[in-house]
Amino acid sequence: MRRSHGEVIHAVWRALQTYRRAIHPQALGWYPDDNGDFQPLDDKGWEHVREKMLERNWPIACQVELVEHCDAASGYTFEYWGCWLDETRFMHDEDPTCAVNFTLPTEYLVEHGPAHVRALALELARELPFSFGYASFALVAPDGCWFAAHRTVRELRDRYPGLDIYKLGETSQHIGTNARGAYWLTFLGLPLLGRLGGLEVLRRHLPFPDVSFQTLPPLEGERVLITLGEWPEAIDTAQQERPSPQLLSLGHLLELFLHEERANWFSFLNNDQEDMRRWIHRFCP
């Protein structure tokens, strides 16, 4: 979201409450305090989170992480990175954004089905002034720290190109209004949607029967969700599975607007910038 923290935070807070209602009550159990020590997410913890998100004034940035487990990777996580765009003259970031992330364990998808997850993603995004967003199978690590399992992560990344790998805090610092890739659910808003030519251009480039387009009120025509089929796909290359034509077509459409990661959080790839670029462009034929 290419907006300042003060402009988006109330919508982010409401999205967080929507997420909490959709998951079981104990799914989020811990948060790191201002010293980085994990504290239980009880009533006192929620009040701390509320004050931090809603009452932190300019020019203080806001970072919030809520997790299911404090000592292992969690299936349920919430991450928010908020910044004040007017304050960037004191920072080295280029094109910073506010960004938010919600995760669900794969078991949630299996139990509730893809239509439910899609409806939840729509409800979470409904009020957010996003330029780009997505939902996908993904590998989740605490705060995006991949170093301890870098060999396993790379093996999974290479075998399953449908698995996303992300580090929200790093990407949010310079993605601006670009895209991160093509996904099962891809949310496009202004100005990126306009740079792509608008909804009608998207329809012409994605004339597949299992691709659907849905505009998000109240800004009809300014935000759209593209859904590529009923289910997300991991794409198991060991079983000779290949990316679908609609995924490749969307990747090709987005290629000129893809964000290139700049920080070294991909260091489990031995800081190989070309390897990282190939992975980001993996669905660009």
Whether pTM exceeds 0.85: yes
Average pLDDT for the chain: 90
Indicate if the pLDDT at residue 145 is higher than 80: no
Per the CB < 8 A criterion, the answer to whether 262 and 174 are in contact is: yes
Residue 204: the pLDDT is 96
Domain boundaries, the chain: 1-129, 130-285
Respond yes or no on whether the N-terminal peptide bond of residue 59 is cis (omega within 30° of 0). Answer: yes
Tens of pLDDT, residue by residue over 152-173, are 888 898 999 999 999 999 899 9
Tens of pLDDT, residue by residue over 200-237, are 999 999 999 999 999 998 766 799 999 999 999 999 99
Query: What does the pLDDT average to over 83-93?
Result: 67
Respond yes or no on whether the N-terminal peptide bond of residue 191 is cis (omega within 30° of 0). Answer: yes
Q: How far apart are CA 111 and CA 276, in angstroms?
A: 34
Q: Which residues contact 259 (CB under 8 A, 6 or more apart)?
A: 171, 174, 175, 176, 178, 179, 180, 280
Confidence of residue 175 (pLDDT cuts 50, 70, 90): very high
Provide φ and ψ at 33, rounded to 5°: -80, -175
Q: How far apart are CA 260 and CA 174, in angstroms?
A: 9
Confidence of residue 60 (pLDDT cuts 50, 70, 90): confident
Confidence of residue 90 (pLDDT cuts 50, 70, 90): very low
